[in-house]
Amino acid sequence: MLRTLTRKEALAHLLSLRFNLAVALVVGLMVGGALLARGEYERQMDDYNAALAARQAAVADASASEGALFAVYSYLDQALMMRPTPLAFIAEGHQRDLPNAVEANAFRIQNVAVEQRGNPMMQRFGALDWSLVVSVVLSFAALVLTFDGFAGEKEDGTLRLVLANPVPRWMLVVSKLLGAWGVLMLGLAVGAILDLLILLPGGWLALDGGTLLRLAAAFALCGLYVALFVLLGLLVSARHGTPAAALVVSLLVWAVVAVVIPRSTVLVAHGVEKVQRQGEVARRAWQDAEAAQQEYLRLHPGGPDWFSGHWSPGESLDMAFAMWRAWQAPYDAWRAAQLRQVERARRLSFVSPAALLAAGLERVAGSGLTSYEQFLDAADRFREAMGEGLRARYPLDPANGYGRDQDADRRARAVRVSPAELPVFRPQSESAAGAVTAALGFGGALAALDLLLLLAAAVAAGRYDVR
C-alpha cells in the first residue's frame, strides 16, 4: 500500500512543471559550480605546488650555507601553506577569505595571512557549491512540491476519496514524504553524478575510499536537510485549509530560516567574544618577550645578554626559546579568541538548519574554519618539531651563550643539516573517517529535527478536517 501511494506521489511530482524547473536549476547550478571549482582548484594547486617548491629550495639553500644550524632553524622563516581541498565544490567554506599561509621556524609562527587567493578587488558573493544549492534552492523546491500535499488534495476532493480506503493517515504522510523526498534526491543525485563526471577526468579528484565516504556523508546530510523541508511543507499543509495560505506560511518560514538567519550571524559575533586589536597584541608580545629575557638573565647570570632578534651565533639557545615562547603566547591567545568569536556566533546560528547543513558540509569537505584551525595546529606542531630538532643538534650548552668564544663558534657553525632529516610539514590532513565522525553531530541534529517534524506532521494529518 505504502509503495503504491509513494509511487503515485513520485510520479505526480516527476511530471509537474515546478519539479522539472527546480531540478533543472539545481543541476545547472551544480554543473556550473563544479566547472568553476575545478578551475579554482587547479589554480590553487599550482600556487600551492609553486610555494612548496620555493620552500624546499629555500631550505636546501639554508642547509648548504655556512652556519647551517642558524640558517635553517633561526634565520629562515619557512612559508607554510594550507593545501586546498578538491572537495570545495561541496562546501567552499569561505576558503578564499581564510588565512592560508604562515611563516614558521624553530621558535615561532608568524604572519598568518591570506595569500594568492583570487582577486581582492572582487565583491564577494560566496561560492556556488552544494551547500548553497541545497540549502537555498532544493529546500525551496521541497516546499513548492509539498505545500498542497494536504490542502491541495482537500480542495480537489481527492483526499476524502483516498481516506475512504483503508489507508492509515500516518501512511499518507510517510508516502508523501517519501515521494517528494525521493524525487528531490534523485535530482541531487543527477547533479552529483554530473559533478563527478566533470571532476574525475584529469585526476584532480581521486575516487578512493576516503573521498567516497566524504561524498556519501555529504549526500546524507543533504538528504536529512531536504527531508526537513519536505516535512515542513507537509506539516504546514496539514494545518491550513487552503493551499495558498499554506504556501505563504511555509515560504515565509523558509525565507527566515534558510536565508535571513544564516546571513545575520555577524550581528551576534561582536557580542559573544571580545577580541583585541592587532596592535595591542603586538605590543603585549614584545613586552612579554622582554620580561622573559630579564627573567632568564636573572636566573642565568653571566652569559652574554644581547639578543639580535634572530637566535644567532653566541646567543643563548634557551633564552631565545624562552623569549619567543613568551612572544608567541599573546598571539596564540589572540587567534584562539578570533576562532571562539566566529565559532560561538555560528553556534548561535544553528537555530537555522541551513547553518547546520553548511557547517556539516564544510566539515565533510575539509574546508572552512575547522580546516584553518587544523592548519594552525599543524604549523604549531611543525614549529615544535623544528625546536626539538634544533635542541638535539646543538653541540653546545643551550643554557648559556658562548659570546665571542672562537672555538665554540667553530663547533656551532660546523654542524651539518640535511634537508631530508628536517621535520615535514603536514598541512591539515584530517582522515575521512574523522571528518565524517565529526559531522555526525550535525547530521544527528538534523535527524532529530526531522523526527520532530515527522511526528508533528503525522499528528496534524491525524487531526486534519478533510471536508
Partner 1 sequence: MKLVTVIRKELLGHVLTLRFAAGALFTLALFVAAGLVLRGDYADRVAAFREAEGTHRQALTSAKVYSELVVEADRPPAPLSVICQGVDRSLPTSSRFSILEAPTVSGAGATRNPLLAVLPTLDLTVVVQVVMSLLALVFAYDVVSGERARGTLALALANRLPRSTLLLGKYLGGMAVLLPLLVLGFGAALIVILSSPLVAFSLRDWTATGLVAAVAAAYLSLVFVLGMMISVVTRRPGTSLVAGLFAWVVLVLLAPQAASAAASALRPLPSERGRVLAEEQAGNEVWARLADYARAHPCPVAYPDQRLFNRERRSLYSGGIPFLSRLYSGPEEYVQWALAGLRFGLPLRLRAAESVQELRWRSLRAMSEQEGLARRLRMLSPAGLLYDAVATLSDTDAGRYLRFLAAVRAQRESLLELARADDGLDWRFFTRRAALEMPGLDELRALSDAGDAARLEAVLGRGFADEAAIDVSGLPAFRLPEAPVAERMARAGLDLGALIFANLALLLAAVVLFARSDVRAGGA
Site for partner 1 in 324-343 (CB under 8 A): 337-339, 341-342
Smaller CB distance to partner 1: residue 96 or 176?
96
User: Is there a contact between 362 and 131 (Cβ–Cβ < 8 Å)?
Assistant: yes
Q: Which residues contact 293 (CB under 8 A, 6 or more apart)?
A: 305, 307, 319, 322, 323
Binding test (CB under 8 A) with partner 1, winner from 5, 23, 40, 240: 40
Nearest in space to 332 (alpha carbons), one of 78, 112, 114: 112
Cell output for 332: 596564540
Q: Which residue has the cell 523541508?
A: 229
* In the complex, least distance from residue 152 CB atom to partner 1, rounded to whole angstroms: 9
Smaller CB distance to partner 1: residue 144 or 439?
144
Smaller CB distance to partner 1: residue 220 or 285?
285
* In the complex, least distance from residue 367 CB atom to partner 1, rounded to whole angstroms: 10
Binding test (CB under 8 A) with partner 1, winner from 14, 35, 45, 297: 35
Of the ranges 3-11, 21-29, 55-63, 216-224, which one interacts with partner 1 (CB under 8 A)?
21-29
- Per the rule left: phi > 0, alpha: psi between -120 and 50, beta: everything else, 425 is beta
Site size for partner 1 (CB under 8 A): 73
Residues 247-306 within binding reach of partner 1 (CB under 8 A): 247-248, 251-252, 255, 259-260, 262-267, 269-270, 275-279
Binding test (CB under 8 A) with partner 1, winner from 45, 58, 136, 445: 136
Nearest in space to 93 (alpha carbons), one of 85, 103, 101, 82: 85
Residues 195-214 within binding reach of partner 1 (CB under 8 A): none
**DSSP symbols for 222-254:** HHHHHHHHHHHHHHHHTT-SSHHHHHHHHHHHH
Residues 96-135 within binding reach of partner 1 (CB under 8 A): 97-99, 114, 116, 118-128, 132
Smaller CB distance to partner 1: residue 99 or 423?
99
Report the distance separating Cα 77 and Cα 323, nearest Å: 17
CA atoms within 13 Å, Cβ hemisphere of 5: 21
* In the complex, least distance from residue 261 CB atom to partner 1, rounded to whole angstroms: 11
Determine if 94 is a binding residue for partner 1 (CB under 8 A): yes
Residues 144-163 within binding reach of partner 1 (CB under 8 A): 144, 147-148
Determine if 375 is a binding residue for partner 1 (CB under 8 A): no
Smaller CB distance to partner 1: residue 127 or 221?
127
Q: Which residue has the cell 534558510?
A: 258
**CA-to-CA dists, residue 231 to 81, 142, 387, angstroms:** 44, 9, 56
Q: 72: which DSSP letter?
A: I
Q: Which residue has the cell 566539515?
A: 363
